[in-house]
Structure 1
Amino acid sequence: MTVRMLSGPQAHAAVPGLTDVLLDCVAGGASVSFMAPLDRATAEDFWRNVAMGVEQDDRILLVAEDGEGVLGTVQLVVGQPPNQPHRADLSKMLVHRRARRRGVGAILMQAAEDAARAAGKTLLVLDTSSPDAERLYTRAGWVKVGVIPNYALWPEGGFCDTTYFYKALR
């Protein structure tokens, strides 16, 4: 497995593989902004917009890959307001179900933190509705801030809570 940061053109080229991961995560019940059933065209549009954000230096996009393709991905939203140049949002940490419990999430988290440091960021924030992800973030030294009830919907419907975390980078 390798992890790499994608340039804008590389992000555009990776849209099919990234789409596969997003479709798999939503089909598996992940609350990641989309409702089921998620169609391929909508998922591709999402990733094309992310690739444009990479081209505009508003996002950093990382992917984990193996011989079969994209295993997982995570983004850093680095384009922040003028009074928050030190901060980034960690977003859309997605790992394909075929690659879960193999350390992909932990490797992507470390790569995201390293990329944030390289971009001059000293504070990261994220939110999650996944108890599995909460365990990953806690093990990686993230601090749980609190839970907001009924924040979003599960892909099949019904409310889900979200938990906010932050991490100060050294």
Structure 2
Amino acid sequence: MLSNGVSSQLKRIARGSDGVDIRLYRLIVLVTVFGVGHHIDHVIRGNHVGWPLIPEVTAFTYSLGFYPLIALGLALSLADRVGAGYWAVVTGAGFVMVTVLHFGPLAVEPPGDVVGPYESATVGYVALAWLVGFVATLAVTTGYASYRWLERVRSDVQ
């Protein structure tokens, strides 16, 4: 059996405290898994990496800064210090960063740079599909967090 403290914490998470519910926690975990996988992909293909792997500070380096934001956000969400608004901003910023860096006219690492370094085109396209899944999950998480945030703001106004 769970202690009363753990049981009440799980019930609070399930119903959503300050707009952060179990669905949002699951999306945050999924986004984090996609992010870690994408960073591992950078290391495996050996392009567009940065400090701490090489001396140069690059977008790769700055993108590692999302992991402390995620850890801090999870701790603060569980302590009821931040809510869905925090996650809307963090995942929204992640969505913009990853999308701009990988797609469109300003891309510094276009899809060809993801697929090209692999000897097997299949592996390269799996890495690209992973990236597309990452961007899609960031978009869904941002949308859901924004919805939960606005829902919370509306209930506070009424």
Structure with bigger strand share is 1
Q: Same fold (TM over 0.5)?
A: no
**Which structure: larger Rg?**
2
TM-score by structure 1 length? 0.31
TM-score by structure 2 length? 0.33
Structure with bigger helix share is 2
